[in-house]
Amino acid sequence: MHNALPLGSENCAKRIAAQDYFVLALGAAIAQVSCMAGSGESSDAILRRLDGVKRVPTGRAEVFVKDAFLPANLCAEIIRLIDLDRRPSTLADHNGDAGFRTSETCDLSPDNAAVKDVEARLFKFTQIDPAHGEPLQGQRYEVGQEFKQHTDWFNPDGEDWEQFCSVSGQRTWTFMIYLNTVEAGGATRFKALGKKFQPTVGKILGWNNLTPDGHGNVNTLHHAMKVRKGVKYVITKWYRERPWG
């Protein structure tokens, strides 16, 4: 279900031409990489090719982490943008729990220079065709705020499926970047995997939302735990089976 066909070289060239800032940011070598990517997929081989990338030792899900993926100055600029344009976070399919997601959200402009920089770095890191990516989103958590256990993939039988997945399909990969070091609390917890990831400046956390047969992986259920002291800032990038539209 999630294995999209590779893009032909002609389509790939058109897509690169339509997104000049990726080429300008990373040069001709990255343009070649984009032609190889061709879908909403990444892989173990791609993500572990760079120094410092670690895979969580479990067969239940593909989860990867790398410290200091973004430099501190770029993180600080994205934090500034989030603070300028944040709003209460929402749920695609509300479950009646008013306290389920209590953070704030910011839809980051793709025209902003700092956002372009982040997108280019993600492109180089994941090798996923940028056309399959949702717009970059920022989140802000104050003391006591959280996002209870949830998955990033959509339930095909849910009320939100037609609205959110009819065009671009299911979410394939999630990549989340912590923008600051939280004084206390604020970890991302994967209960089924027995793992918690504490926010530190620039750390990237990524996971495949799907099983090999294309179904949503229940083991990717995760909890943005309550912040106990300080403020937590993150940005999230989701990718889809088909181009985002």
Burial class (CB in 10 A: 0-12, 13-18, 19+), 33: middle
Q: How far apart are CA 87 and CA 106, in angstroms?
A: 6
Residue 8 pLDDT exceeds 60? no
pLDDT on residue 44: 86
Q: What is the mean pLDDT of the chain?
A: 86
Residues 65 and 56 sit within 8 Å (Cβ to Cβ): yes
pTM recorded for the entire structure: 0.82
Q: Among 147, 133, 106, which residue's Cα sits nearest to residue 241?
A: 133
Q: How far apart are CA 146 and CA 140, in angstroms?
A: 10
**pLDDT category of residue 155 using cuts at 50, 70 and 90:** confident
Task: Quickly count: other Cβ atoms within 10 Å of residue 25's Cβ.
Answer: 16
pLDDT on residue 27: 38
Percent of the chain with pLDDT strictly greater than 90:
71
pLDDT on residue 92: 66
- Homologous superfamily, domain 9-240: q2cbj1_9rhob like domain (2.60.120.620)
